[in-house]
Amino acid sequence: MLFNSIEFLLFLPIVFILYWFVFRGRKWQNLLIVIASYVFYGWWNWHFLLLIVFTSFCSYLSGLLIEFYDGRRRAQKCVSALNIVLNLCVLGVFKYYNFFIESLESLLSLMGFHLDIVTISVILPVGISFYTFQALSYTIDIYKKKLTATHDIVEFFAFISFFPQLVAGPIERATNLLPQFHHNRYFDYSQAVDGCRQILWGFFKKLVVADNCALIVNKYWDNYSDYSGPSLLFLGILFTFQIYGDFSGYSDIAIGTARLFGIKLMRNFKYPYFARNISEFWRNWHISLMTWFRDYIYIPIGGSHCARWKVIRNTMIVFFISGLWHGANWTFICWGLYHACLISFMIILGVNTKTTSIVAQGKIIPSIKELAQIVTTFAFVVIGWVIFRAESLTQAYGFLTRMFSTMFDSGKSIYATDVLLYCIVMLLIEWLQRGKQHALVIDSIKTKSLRWGIYLILVLAIYAFMPDTISTFIYFQF
């Protein structure tokens, strides 16, 4: 079920009413969440439910077994490892089997060997990478004694399948989300209002910014060789705003929806396009995934508390896995390694952790130095997103080569001033609100009519400027 669908606009108020007025009490509310989440997820294809039930049950059972073998670390390690391998195998078969088989076949062909390798025809289950990583964090945290196993299976299934963040995150930790299902929730009007504001802003970013950018990007991308360098740069910039409006818009809707049910999800974006270097960009982009990699991969293999060359090695490993996590295509892997190289250069210079404060804090306009840093970082990010968007490395190379080589040559032009205006409006609003949790934190506006005027303007803007075609969210494919 899509957030931007009529079905969801009917589904959400029904579940909300049942949750607060019919299914009273923690246990009944948890049960409703599981039922509602399975309806929400099964709306695409009910067969996908078998996988999420399998993942949930295996992880739930592994937690109980790790607790049962308390004091016997070898047995606990075996249980934890078995669950991790089992879940990764399921993810690998559905998401990566054909990619690895086809890559192996190509490699063997280059060496002179020709094999008849069998691929499989499977539909990638929506959001499998998200809920798999969420389940893995539970098992690992119990093994590391950061968390005690839950015995309430409904509570655990609610944690894995919670519908607002099920298919595209944020990837929640059991230490944060699971305890919230263990305690009673009470309706908080101010929290619900703030949630509605965040939902509204998420819809604006998705429907007005991302979907309009998508119309232009999808129309011209495959015929990039016909267009001039400035037009291709413009196209790359539009995709940069598309993926941000799309993914951060989803996160805003998810976080806001969760607040309607008394649940607090972690922040997933922190205005990443205002970053002053690539390290800061990655501290503010898809925060739930990058902190997952930090805690469960980067730190265990040595983190930054080791020799500089090892820090660079660890960075390369994390971004290689990050690229692979995003999809079974060499473009994603190269995109990850591209960012790893940029961060490694910063590590060599020793400047990768120096910008942690809010940009231009206490000022409306950034300094010339900060502005130059933001523009430079944004330019590197745009190049990365071109690699990410390309269907193959050949297309990525051709796009970037033509973009730079024809920057001052003639060629077809792309005009989309209205779409660019939507992006600028989004940027301006988020710049003014960059110190807030989201762009519609407007409690400081005491005049009620003015606040409602802002809501009305956004609603009318969504209605007036959203395209006719409903598009899915980009990160559903991951």
352: pLDDT strictly greater than 90: no
| Domain boundaries defined on the chain | 6-186, 190-276+355-477
Residues in contact with 417: Cβ distance below 8 Å, sequence separation at least 6, in sequence order: none
Residue 361 has pLDDT above 90, yes or no: no
Closest CA to 475 of 201, 248, 200, 288: 248
Which pLDDT score is estimated for 119? 64
* pLDDT tens-digit readout, 147-164: 999 999 999 999 999 999
Question: Residue 361 and residue 373: Cα distance in Å, rounded?
Answer: 15
- The answer to whether residue 207 scores a pLDDT higher than 90 is yes
- Evaluate whether 474 touches 389 at the Cβ level (below 8 Å): no
**Residue 385, pLDDT above cutoff 80:** yes
- Does the structure show a pLDDT above 70 at 460? yes
Secondary structure class of 412 (helix, strand, coil):
strand
DSSP state at residue 349: H
C-alpha pair distances (Å), 295 with each of 84, 290, 292, 303, 318: 16, 9, 5, 9, 11
Give mean pLDDT, residues 266-279.
Answer: 95
Across 40-47, average pLDDT: 88
pLDDT band at 115 (very low <50, low <70, confident <90, very high): low
Catalytic residue among 47, 151, 286, 326: 326
Q: In this predicted structure, what is the pLDDT of residue 321?
A: 94
CA distance linking residue 276 with residue 274, whole number of Å:
6
Model pLDDT, residue 441:
93
Alpha-carbon span 358 to 434, nearest angstrom: 8
Q: Is the pLDDT of residue 236 over 90?
A: yes
**Tally of CA atoms within 13 A in the half-sphere of 20 that contains its CB:** 15
- What integer is the mean pLDDT of 446-468? 93
DSSP assignment of 207-258: IIIIHHHHHHHHHHGGGGGGB-HHHHHHHHHHHHHHHHHHHHHHHHHHHHHH
Task: Name the residue among 145, 152, 159, 146 with its Cα closest to residue 56.
Answer: 159
Task: Please say if the pLDDT value at position 406 is more than 90.
Answer: no
Q: Is 326 a catalytic residue?
A: yes
Mean pLDDT confidence for 250-265: 96
Q: What is the mean pLDDT of residues 15-37?
A: 94
Percentage of the chain beyond pLDDT 70 is 95
Position of tokens 């980067």?
298
Position 69 confidence tier, pLDDT thresholds 50, 70, 90: very high
Cα 46 to chain center, whole Å?
Answer: 24
- What is the average per-residue pLDDT within 296-311? 90
What is the C-alpha separation between 64 and 142, in angstroms, rounded? 9
**Taking all residues of the chain, what is their mean pLDDT, rounded to a whole number?**
91
pLDDT band at residue 120 using 50, 70 and 90 as cut-offs: low
Which among 163, 155, 135 has a CA at the least distance from the CA of 36? 163
- pLDDT bucket at 96, cuts 50 / 70 / 90: confident
- Which residue did the predictor score with more confidence, 468 or 80? 80
**Which range (251-265, 294-308, 408-422, 428-442) has the least confidence?**
408-422
Q: How confident is the model at residue 118 (pLDDT cuts 50, 70, 90)?
A: low
The pLDDT value recorded for residue 107 is 67
